[in-house]
Amino acid sequence: MPAAADPVVRELYQNHRYPAMSHPLADPAVTAVAARLGGLTTAPPQQARILEIGCASGHNLLPLARRWPASRCLGLDLTENAIADARQLAVAAGIGNVTFHAADLRDFDPGGEPFDFIIAHGFFSWVPDEAKLALFEFCRHHLAPSGIATISFNLAAGWVPRLPVVAMVRVLQECAGGDLLATLELLREATDPATPHGANVRSIIDDMLAKGPDILAFDDFGPVNDPWPFDRFVITAATAGLRWLGESDPAENLPSALGDASRAALGPLAASPLQAQLAADFVVGRTFRSGVLCRDDAPTQPGLTSDTVVDFSVRQGAVTPTSADPLVRALYQALAAVAPACVPMPEILAALPEANPAALARLVFDGITRGFIRPRIEPLRFDPQPPACPALNAFLLACASRRLPLVDVWHQPCGFPAAHYQVLAAMDGSRTHAELAALASSRCPELAFEPWLRHLAGRGMFMPD
Ligand SMILES: C[S@@+](CC[C@H](N)C(=O)[O-])C[C@H]1O[C@@H](n2cnc3c(N)ncnc32)[C@H](O)[C@@H]1O
């Protein structure tokens, strides 16, 4: 991808606001676990130096800075408008341990100490090759010896089939005009879902339409849209002196969409991990990865054992495995008993005193790699019931008053219809449950207030400071 694409990238972000989002896979509480499973013990994120590259309006970095007041956070982005928004939001939310800098990564010298965590989410695939290589070089030079970089990118295996649709839409727009959505709809209507080709094109178009126009202009239809195969990413990173440790989500080290039969069929590739990964990406049509990388001289410890999980905190995943094994059942019952909390592993061990700790650790490790158990590097507890006078913290209140997505305790973004924001912005702790219910029924009569409030509480939105 030539560097000539750069002015178009700059112009897009300067003239169009990128939607505010947080990214759970970029959360250092999550990526520190991925690093540990890859053999590297990072600095504790509670007291770390954290940099986000391409931070846009700071919606990912600000909640992290707020969660860890003893950390020092820095956000970098090319786009001055976005950085101005980020600074304003930081002031409104009273977050003092974060600074934002408007610059091109290629001209940026952060000075000072190296970083324990570098985040570049939604950056790599949307910038020219020169900026991609600069990102790898930057991480190599500015990571601490035990630091990690979390870099997400779109994957050729599943993304490349989308490119002909993008090209066709551009051709149609050029000759017939029409906005993006109308052109996608036209192409959708023209395809015959009864043929394998038509069904495939339709499913791609449906996926694009579901993203909506706010995202599409930056996403499939961005000025640079450059998916890479996994091997090219890993080898280019290695050339710059970075080593791949694993996926941010350990349940995606082999794609979770890969069924048992496919796993078994790929078994003979076990001795060639890179080829096995490429084949798995191809088989499921994987479109996205979020990789954790370290310096090639990082002090990694080979010989991971399942006992490593004892250092983690764990919570129940969305799905629980079915098993007749009494130990498996006891483990998942113990996790359900503390849900939605994420508790230190020794607490789970203490809840199952009869169990063999090594066998239990192995089960937890398996559960983590299959997504049945969600690990974090630190525990997290909150009351899932709504308080008498619901109070959002200062960051969430600032988001509500600006109609930006709220961010839950798992770092997941949560957007709302405009009228709901009026109720959220009133959740400053000064109104009772009943007063808020009355406000909701006047501003958004269609809203089922009680279940909504319970839903918010269940996502930890009212966790006290
Ligand atoms: C697709 S947006 C992603 C924003 C955010 N990280 C997210 O995923 O929600 C890419 C961001 O990278 C920024 N960017 C692009 N090229 C850059 C460069 N060379 N240096 C610094 N920032 C850049 C853009 O201004 C934009 O805010």
Mean pLDDT calculated for residue range 396-407: 98
- Sorted by where each begins, the domain ranges of the chain are 3-155+227-295, 158-216, 306-376, 394-458
pLDDT tens column, 279-301 = 999 999 999 999 999 999 999 98
Question: Can you tell me the mean pLDDT for 347-368?
Answer: 94
For a ligand 1 pocket test, name from 77, 83, 214, 218 the mutation site with the most ligand atoms within 8 angstroms of its C-beta: 77
Supply 184's token pair: 């996608």
247: which 2 tokens? Answer: 């996926």
pLDDT of residue 83: 98
Residue whose Cα lies nearest atom 19 of ligand 1: it is: 104
pLDDT at 214: 85
- Asked if residue 73 lies in contact with residue 81, where contact means CB atoms within 8 angstroms, the answer is no
Question: Is the C-beta atom of 121 inside 6 A of ligand 1?
Answer: yes
DSSP secondary structure letter of residue 114 = P
Burial class for 419, CB neighbours closer than 10 Å (0-12, 13-18, 19+): middle
Is the C-beta atom of 124 inside 6 A of ligand 1? Answer: no
Q: 20 CB less than 6 Å from ligand 1?
A: no
**What φ, ψ does residue 446 adopt, rounded to 5°?**
-75, -10
Confidence at 1, pLDDT banded by 50, 70, 90: low
With 60 as the cut, is the pLDDT of residue 2 above it? no
What's the pLDDT at 176?
A: 83
Predicted pLDDT of residue 68: 98
Residue 302 pLDDT > 80, yes or no? no
Report, in angstroms and rounded to the nearest whole number, the Rg of the chain calculated over CA atoms: 23
- CB 34, CB 245: distance < 8 Å: yes
Rounded to an integer, the average pLDDT of 76-101 is: 98
Model confidence band, residue 464 (pLDDT cutoffs 50, 70, 90): confident
Q: What is the pLDDT of residue 453?
A: 97
pLDDT (0 to 100) of residue 307: 74
Q: If you search the block for the tokens 């008498």, which residue do you land on?
A: 388
Q: What is the pLDDT, as a whole number, of residue 143?
A: 98
Residue with CA at minimum distance from ligand 1 atom 4? 56
309 in contact with ligand 1, CB cutoff 6 A: no
- Of 386, 397, 391, 396, which Cα lies nearest the Cα of 458? 386
Asked if 343 and 379 count as a contact pair (C-beta separation under 8 A), the reply is yes
pLDDT tens digits, 137-192:
999 999 999 999 999 999 999 999 999 999 999 999 998 888 999 999 999 999 99
How confident is the model over 28-42, as pLDDT tens digits? 999 999 999 999 999
Percent of the residues in the chain that have a pLDDT greater than 90, as a whole number: 93
Phi and psi at 88, nearest 5°, equal -65, -40
Which atom of ligand 1 is nearest the CA belonging to 60?
9
pLDDT score for 317 = 96
Backbone angles phi, psi at 121, to 5 degrees: -100, 135
Chain centroid to CA 454: 24
Q: Is 138 in the pocket of ligand 1 (CB under 6 A)?
A: no
What does the pLDDT average to over 84-96?
98
Note the pLDDT of residue 200: 95
The DSSP code for 27 is -
- Three-class DSSP labels, 206-260: HHHHHHCHHHHCCCCCCCCCCCECHHHHHHHHHHCCEEEEEECCHHHCCCCCCCH
CATH architecture of 3-155+227-295: 3-Layer(aba) Sandwich (3.40)
What separation in angstroms does the CA of 265 have from each of 261, 268, 274? 6, 7, 16
Q: For strand 115-120 and strand 49-53, is the pairing parallel, antiparallel, or unpaired? A: parallel
Amino acid at 442: S
pLDDT of residue 213: 87
**What per-residue confidence (pLDDT) applies to 425?**
98
Q: Does residue 3 carry a pLDDT above 70?
A: no
71 CB contacts (<8 Å, ≥6 apart)?
45, 46, 47, 48, 49, 50, 64, 65, 97
What is the C-alpha separation between 33 and 70, in angstroms, rounded? 20
Residue whose CA is at the smallest distance from ligand 1 atom 7? 122
Q: Model confidence at 465, in pLDDT bands (50, 70, 90)? A: confident
Residue whose Cα lies nearest atom 1 of ligand 1: it is: 122
79 CB under 6 A from ligand 1? yes
The answer, yes or no, to whether residue 306 has pLDDT greater than 80, is: no
Average the pLDDT over 294-316 and give the result.
89
Number of H helices, E strands in the chain: 20, 12
Mean pLDDT of the chain: 95
Task: Could you list the beta-strand ranges (E) of 333-455.
Answer: 343-344, 373-376, 406-407, 413-414
Q: What is the pLDDT of residues 98-126, one digit of tens each?
A: 999 999 999 999 988 999 999 999 999 99
Encoded amino acid at 372, one letter: F
CB 59: neighbour CB atoms within 10 A? Answer: 24
pLDDT (0 to 100) of residue 5: 64
pLDDT above 80 for 265:
yes
